[in-house]
Structure 1
């Protein structure tokens, strides 16, 4: 496996050494360029997948690691968990194009100290690196509100999630019942419960909210 990195594994002065991992070359190179232009930062490695990121982390021991949540071979969550098995204090920021409650919660549960959307302003990106390097947690206020909203709502049961998944596929109550070997009356009961827990009034709204929260994937 080839690993792309900066020419030197040592950090000039007291710069923050940053490892960046993303499977999209343009995103990876863009992040590296932004970080590399900062007087107090230097890029110590670039990886194209989660496995490569873990190997580079072990070789370079960066101060801060930025991981794309969805990468081939090993995803961002898996990479965070592996890195933290080597160092529970590792400072990691998760990058994603998604902002579902589940994504945010999974990143935090895995041990990420920061959570950023890829389209976040450059200033937010750099501020997150500096904050996480300083031992702080960096999650945008809007994302925290979204997470709190998801956590505060009552969790769906396994059967309700099954019904919701079929609902997202456009199945009718009769089709959902046939797939799950339950009656239409039971399906309707589950739907009422789902609507209440998701605080929605229609099937379409339920699917939309569930998709936003990462409960279903369209």
Structure 2
């Protein structure tokens, strides 16, 4: 994976934490967004961990260049930031980030987020991401609420709300008494019907459409 942060001490700490985790190897470090994009395109890491506030190119633009809707072969991006009310978080998620963490999240949550992004999932922590998604979606909500390409089934609506609240596939399976493969099938259907690229965009759609407010 690639780690990008303009603060040397923070970047060094993140690299040390991640390199110590099973199944994670840091293959590149960058001190700004421009360097991060160049390295990521060369190294093609499984996951990019980007700070939001960086010189040259900030984390939002770097995310857009690596994971945006116009990118042919997008890379998984997780955004990390200092403030839990950072106004740029919503922009980063819209740019294609699969999730975000606070810098004081701790090794366990950081590791979970990296592994989730690597397997095509996303970490949406109920006490952080879901709250921010709700706040930013409310402030950015347009008068005309988005509608699905096709009507959602009753079960898909249940899965939609669970994803928006931050539940993992396993948790959704337990909550709804269905198999893990069925959960994955419902999420794939939601992505198609909502024109979403990942779980984060499914959650954002739920908030923007007014399907969930807490």
* TM score, norm. by length of structure 2: 0.60
1:131 maps to what in 2? 116
13, 24, 27: which one aligns with 1:41: 24
C-alpha distance in structure 2 between counterparts of 1:101 and 1:32, whole Å: 23
37, 40, 43: which one aligns with 1:54: 37
2:183 maps to what in 1? none
C-alpha distance in structure 2 between counterparts of 1:154 and 1:86, whole Å: 24
Q: Do residues 68 (structure 1) and 54 (structure 2) align?
A: no
State the SS of the aligned residue for 1:42: coil
Tell me: CA distance 1:23–1:55, structure 2 relative to 1, closer, same or farther (3 Å): same
C-alpha distance in structure 1 between counterparts of 2:33 and 2:13, whole Å: 18
1:97 maps to what in 2? 82
Q: Cα offset for 1:88?
A: 4.7
State the SS of the aligned residue for 2:3: strand
- Contact 1:101/1:147, CA 8 A, preserved across alignment: no
Q: Do residues 148 (structure 1) and 134 (structure 2) align?
A: yes
- Contact 2:66/2:74, CA 8 A, preserved across alignment: no
C-alpha distance in structure 2 between counterparts of 1:108 and 1:130, whole Å: 18
C-alpha distance in structure 1 between counterparts of 2:124 and 2:107, whole Å: 15
- Contact 2:60/2:88, CA 8 A, preserved across alignment: no
What residue ranges of structure 2 are gaps of 5+ in the alignment?
A: 142-214
Deviation track 1:170-204 (CA, whole Å, cap 9, x = no partner) reads xxxxxxxxxxxxxxxxxxxxxxxxxxxxxxxxxxx
Larger radius of gyration: 1
Q: Do residues 115 (structure 1) and 100 (structure 2) align?
A: yes
C-alpha distance in structure 2 between counterparts of 1:101 and 1:70, whole Å: 10
C-alpha distance in structure 1 between counterparts of 2:140 and 2:119, whole Å: 35
The structure with the greater share of residues assigned to strand is 1
C-alpha distance in structure 2 between counterparts of 1:43 and 1:92, whole Å: 14
Tell me: CA distance 1:33–1:146, structure 2 relative to 1, closer, same or farther (3 Å): same
* TM score, norm. by length of structure 1: 0.59
C-alpha distance in structure 1 between counterparts of 2:140 and 2:64, whole Å: 27
Moved over 4 A (4+): 85-88
State the SS of the aligned residue for 2:75: coil
C-alpha distance in structure 1 between counterparts of 2:95 and 2:73, whole Å: 11
State the SS of the aligned residue for 1:116: strand
C-alpha distance in structure 1 between counterparts of 2:72 and 2:14, whole Å: 24
State the SS of the aligned residue for 2:27: strand
Q: Cα offset for 1:121?
A: 1.5
